[in-house]
Amino acid sequence: LVCFSSALSPELKLTLDKVVSSHKVVLFMKGSKDFPQCGFSRTVVQILKTLNVPFETMDILENEVLRQGLKEYSSWPTFPQLYIDGEFFGGCDITVEAYQSGELQELLEKTMCS
């Protein structure tokens, strides 16, 4: 058993709880929605723009504490990370697949109307 020192402080956890619950769609990504810094982040931004939903983005490249803490918060090792309605939805591959199957539109419509 390996013990890691946690990157997710109680304060950061509280802040993240607040961020993901105060917006219906939040994307933690590399870069911003206007200037994505990675193809995977760009793909998710494009999907959200195509679906015409309002969404917030946070640039994890600008904040190393946020970047490391989020990996623990989501139990997900990579970025982008998409949150819908306060819950972790997935990374780029999951978002692409859900978009292609129509599952993402369905979930977003439900979320926006709630």
Minimum distance from residue 74 beta carbon to other proteins (Å): 10
Instruction: Note the residue count of the chain.
Output: 114
CA atoms within 13 A on the CB side of 34: 0
Q: Which is nearer to other proteins, 97 or 109 (CB)?
A: 97
What residue ranges bind other proteins (CB under 8 A)? Answer: 40, 75-78, 88-94, 97-98
Q: CB–CB of 79/66 below 8 Å? A: no
3-class DSSP state of 113:
helix
Smallest separation (angstroms) from other proteins to the CB of 9: 20
* Secondary structure element (H or E) that encloses residue 90, with its range: strand 87-90
**Residue number with CB closer to other proteins (14 or 110):** 110
- Kindly state the smallest distance separating residue 48's Cβ from other proteins, in Å: 18
Q: Which is nearer to other proteins, 73 or 89 (CB)?
A: 89
